[in-house]
């Protein structure tokens, strides 16, 4: 799917899934570049969030559970990151919150499911409904 462009980053536990997705989609890899050294997911969430904001793009974050990446990314004003375990999660994240980052759990998401989630995330448009715009405005405060 050539229309999938954006950034991807992981910690050491998410490295295998990041590597899998990079073989499937043309994503810009922001690290980590090895699973052999323990790293803090916060560093990669912050890095990716800054790139997404600067480039007005989308991104994918991956760690073991997804929790650390999700929390860290959402501390950036203008970022709406959401942990997705299903295709439906990705669909609603885009339609209802105009999510610009999806977070995946390397421990609980198989490669084939992650691929489907990413496809749905990048192919789904924000619904643009007034109630969702109002809520996003409050989130971005």
Report how far residue 134's alpha carbon sits from residue 22's, in angstroms, rounded to the nearest whole number.
Answer: 35
Instruction: Check 3, 76, 85, 96 and give the catalytic one.
Output: 96
Report the C-alpha gap between 76 and 25 in whole angstroms: 26
Residue 80's contacts (CB-CB under 8 Å, 6 or more residues apart) are: 74, 93, 97, 98, 99, 100, 101, 136, 139, 140
* Contact by Cβ (8 Å): 103, 121: no
Q: Is 76 a catalytic residue?
A: no
**Rounded Cα gap, residues 60 and 101, in angstroms:** 6
Which residues are designated catalytic? Answer: 96
């Amino acid at each position: 799917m050539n229309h999938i462009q954006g950034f991807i980053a992981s910690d050491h536990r998410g490295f295998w899934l990041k590597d899998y997705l990079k073989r499937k989609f043309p994503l810009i890899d922001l690290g980590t570049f090895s699973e052999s050294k323990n790293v803090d997911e916060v560093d990669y969430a912050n890095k990716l969030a800054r790139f997404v904001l600067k480039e007005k793009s989308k991104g994918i974050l991956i760690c073991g559970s997804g929790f650390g990446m999700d929390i860290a990314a959402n501390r950036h004003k203008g970022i709406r990151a959401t942990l997705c375990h299903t295709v439906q999660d990705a669909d609603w994240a885009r339609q209802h919150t105009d999510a610009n980052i999806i977070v995946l759990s390397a421990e609980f998401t198989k490669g084939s499911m992650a691929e489907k989630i990413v496809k749905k995330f990048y192919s789904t448009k924000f619904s643009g409904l007034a109630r969702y715009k109002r809520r996003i405005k409050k989130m971005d405060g």
